[in-house]
Amino acid sequence: MRMRVCAGVMAAVVWAAPLLAQDLAPLRLTLEEAQARALQASHRVAELRARESAAQGSVAVREAAERPLLSALAGYTRTNHVVEFVVPGPTGVPRVLYPDVPNNYRTRLDLQWPIYTGGRTDALERAARTEAAAVAAEVTVAQADLRLEVARAFWALATANSAVNVLNEGLTRAQTHLAAARERLSAGSVPPNEVSSAEADESRQRMLLIEARNQRDVTMAGLARLTGLDILQPIEPVALFEAPAASQPRVDALVAEARGLRTERQAMQRRIEGADELRRAAAAGSRPAIAVGAGFDYARPNPRTFPRANLWDDSWDAGINVSWPLWDGGRTKADIAQAGGAAEAARQRLAEFDSVLALEIRQRVLELDSGRAAITAADDAIRAATEARRIVTERYQAGVAQSTDVLDANFALLQAELDRTRAIAGVRLAEARLAHALGR
């Protein structure tokens, strides 16, 4: 029974979801507004910011390693009973040198201060700082990637809306053609295959419209997810489809600019520096370390007091400790090799990034050039379609053309305008990709 109830509820939710989506008012968003919403709602950016906070905490830990450490200690120990050690006193009264004290209490205030570590502590602190800088750069990289992803979804949705509008007009044209073909068949002026062809064209237009609407809804849901909205929330992109200003940037200048601005490259450089610092820290493991130690004890009995007595007594100590690993079984050498391998790997990764960066910028510039050429061609197509519609309209008004000819001319003009819209959206997306490649 419960399974039937759950199935009924799920079916009701699935049936009502499209209705709820239709009831929601469309949210008008510009590209800048969508990107701002996405930056606030992104879990990836939030994760990297948390990692940045953790990296800053690691820097604080490395800094604290150079400071003195003061600890308060306390303890209680129960021992077995022993035979007291007694010697005769100078006055003839026995004197207890080692009494039976099974209850032992000890408190200590302890100070430890490493004053020389062979450069290991400083190197580890510098490595932590470079890692924190690299993680901060990764936050900027994630934000740039997110802005590009939102721009891709935004322009895809804008193009999909235009495609749906054109296909709606195409379906209207096909339905008009079908109605006219049926009328001519009834009048006996056309064979039956003309009606069948018109029906096939109308069915194909309906199929294309369904596919376009589905693609639009999928793209809209993806943009809603990126911006932190409900995936059922309709979104209306606010975009001006104007041709961008033509410019011909030099590829070599753009590559030089990108190498200075790309935060991914900066993060790689920081990690190379961090790996070098870790190698220095590993090499410091073969050097001597010096630390200052001191403490104040208050115990009962105090083991430093002679003769031993079941009384609270205080004592103190201070000293300098030197440790020098003369042989560690190859551990330091292995640590140096590991850190050196990580540094070399980071250098090779940076070299690979530089080689791919030049190719990426070249591709983005070519995309811009081809997109601008496509806009020019689309403008020519719009002018030709506009002139053709004007001529067909005049012929229809003169009674020498049919209404279906006017519909065909209108549809051709809409198709040309859609091509121009797609070309402009492609150029805008190419500009966003080039800006992302440059690190702007």
pLDDT of 399 above 80: no
Do 372 and 238 share a domain, yes or no? Answer: yes
Q: SS3 letters for 152-166?
A: HHHHHHHHHHHHHHH
Q: What are phi and psi of 83, to 5 degrees?
A: -80, 125
Do 310 and 422 share a domain, yes or no? Answer: no
Do 406 and 390 share a domain, yes or no? Answer: yes
Asked whether residue 172 is assigned to any structural domain, the reply reads: yes
Asked whether residue 374 is assigned to any structural domain, the reply reads: yes
Whole-number pLDDT of residue 248: 60
> What tens digit of pLDDT does each residue of 1-16 get?
554 544 454 444 434 4
Whole-number pLDDT of residue 20: 46
Asked whether residue 37 is assigned to any structural domain, the reply reads: yes
Do 412 and 363 share a domain, yes or no? Answer: yes
Do 48 and 155 share a domain, yes or no? Answer: yes
Amino acid at 228: G
CATH number at residue 410: 1.20.1600.10
Joined tokens for residue 288: 């001597």
CA 266 → CA 39, 49, 52, 84, 355, distances in Å? Answer: 21, 17, 15, 73, 15
What integer is the mean pLDDT of 356-382? Answer: 86
Q: Binning pLDDT at 50, 70 and 90, where does residue 249 land?
A: low
Could you give the number of structural domains in the chain?
2
Q: Pairing between strand 235-237 and 289-300?
A: unpaired
The β-bridge partners of 77 are: 104
pLDDT of 390 above 80: yes
d(C-alpha 140, C-alpha 262), whole Å = 10
What integer is the mean pLDDT of 145-173? Answer: 87
Q: Is 225 exposed, middle or buried (0-12, 13-18, 19+ CB in 10 A)?
A: middle
Residues 6+ apart with CB under 8 A from 192: 185
Asked whether residue 389 is assigned to any structural domain, the reply reads: yes
What integer is the mean pLDDT of 115-122? Answer: 86
Joined tokens for residue 394: 């005049």
> What tens digit of pLDDT does each residue of 53-64 get?
998 898 888 888
Residue 84 DSSP label: P
Do 276 and 138 share a domain, yes or no? Answer: yes
Do 378 and 413 share a domain, yes or no? Answer: yes
Whole-number pLDDT of residue 83: 86
Whole-number pLDDT of residue 244: 66
Do 178 and 314 share a domain, yes or no? Answer: no
Do 297 and 225 share a domain, yes or no? Answer: no
What integer is the mean pLDDT of 368-389? Answer: 86
Do 312 and 383 share a domain, yes or no? Answer: no
Asked whether residue 188 is assigned to any structural domain, the reply reads: yes
Show the domain range for 98.
68-78+94-116+289-323
d(C-alpha 213, C-alpha 164), whole Å = 6
What integer is the mean pLDDT of 30-53? Answer: 89
- Mean pLDDT for all residues in the chain: 84
> What tens digit of pLDDT does each residue of 273-305 get?
888 888 888 888 888 889 999 999 999 999 888
3-state secondary structure of 367: helix
Do 217 and 149 share a domain, yes or no? Answer: yes
Do 329 and 347 share a domain, yes or no? Answer: yes
